[in-house]
Structure 1
Amino acid sequence: MMKALQLSKELETSLPTLSLTNLPIPNVPPGAALIKIQYSCINPSDRYNSLGGFPKTIFPRIPGRDYSGTVITLGQDSDAMQSHWVGKRVYGTGGAELGFKLDGPHAQYCLIPEKLIVEKPDSISPVQAATVGVPFTTALRCLTRSRAKPDDIVLVIGASGAVGSSAVQIARAMGCKRVLTASRNEIESPDILLDGDIGAEMQSKIPSLTNGKGVDVVIDTVGNLDIMNAAIHALAIKGRYAWIAAPRGGASTTLNVDVFESYRKEIELVGCNSGLATVEETAEEMKTLTWLFERNLIHPRDESLINVVDLDDAIEKGYRAAPSEKQIVLKMD
Structure 2
Amino acid sequence: MSGVVLVGHGGFENLEFRTDLPVPKVGAGEVLIRVAAAAINNTDINTRIGWYSKAIREGTSEGGLTGFAATEDDDASWTGQALKFPRIQGADCCGHIVAVGDGVDPTRIGERVVVRNLLRTYVDYRPWECWTFGSECDGAFAQYAKAPARETFNITSDWSDVELASIPCAYSTAEGMLHRAGVKSGETVLITGASGGVGSAAVQLAKRRGATVTALAGQSKADQVRRLGADRVIFRGNDLVDALGKDSIDVVIDVAAGPQFSQLLDVLKRGGRYAVAGAIAGPIVELDVRTLYLKDLSFFGCTFQDDVIFENLVSYIERGEIRPHVGKTYPLENIVEAQKDFLSKEISGKLVLITPK
- TM-score normalized by structure 1? 0.82
Map of 1:296 onto structure 2: 320
Asked if 1:253 corresponds to 2:284, the answer is: yes
Name which of structure 1's ranges 97-106 and 119-128 shifts more when overlaid on structure 2: 119-128
Does the 8 A contact of 2:157 with 2:317 survive in 1? no
Map of 1:318 onto structure 2: 338
How far apart are 1:223 and its partner, in Å?
A: 1.6
Map of 1:122 onto structure 2: 157
| Counterparts of 2:160 and 2:336, CA distance in 1 | 26
Does the 8 A contact of 2:29 with 2:103 survive in 1? no
Q: Give, as a single letter, the amino acid of the residue that structure 2 aligns with 1:133.
A: P
| Counterparts of 1:252 and 1:39, CA distance in 2 | 31
Does the 8 A contact of 1:7 with 1:16 survive in 2? no
Map of 2:115 onto structure 1: 92
Does the 8 A contact of 1:16 with 1:50 survive in 2? no
Map of 1:193 onto structure 2: 235
Map of 2:2 onto structure 1: 3
Does the 8 A contact of 1:239 with 1:267 survive in 2? yes
How far apart are 1:258 and its partner, in Å?
A: 4.2
> Any gaps of 5 or more consecutive residues in structure 2?
52-75, 119-130, 227-231
- TM-score normalized by structure 2? 0.77
> Any gaps of 5 or more consecutive residues in structure 1?
207-212
Does the 8 A contact of 1:193 with 1:201 survive in 2? no
Quote the sequence identity (%).
27
Does the 8 A contact of 1:35 with 1:110 survive in 2? yes
Alpha carbons of 1:266 and 1:197: their partners in 2 closer, same or farther (altered >3 Å)? closer
Does the 8 A contact of 1:35 with 1:111 survive in 2? yes
Map of 1:235 onto structure 2: 268
| Counterparts of 2:197 and 2:147, CA distance in 1 | 24
Of 71, 88, 103, the match for 1:62: 88
How far apart are 1:179 and its partner, in Å?
A: 2.1
Does the 8 A contact of 2:155 with 2:318 survive in 1? no
How far apart are 1:40 and its partner, in Å?
A: 0.8
| Counterparts of 2:265 and 2:244, CA distance in 1 | 10
| Counterparts of 2:10 and 2:111, CA distance in 1 | 42
| Counterparts of 1:49 and 1:75, CA distance in 2 | 30
- Aligned to 1:139, the other structure's residue is in SS state helix
How far apart are 1:86 and its partner, in Å?
A: 1.1
Root-mean-square deviation (CA, aligned residues, Å) is 2.6
Map of 1:32 onto structure 2: 30
Alpha carbons of 1:14 and 1:229: their partners in 2 closer, same or farther (altered >3 Å)? closer
User: What is the CA deviation profile of residues 183-234 of structure 1, one whole-angstrom value per residue up to 9, with x for unaligned ones?
Assistant: 232643644333343432232xx6xxxxxx6211111122233x22112111
Map of 2:127 onto structure 1: none
Alpha carbons of 1:252 and 1:65: their partners in 2 closer, same or farther (altered >3 Å)? closer
Does the 8 A contact of 2:12 with 2:336 survive in 1? no
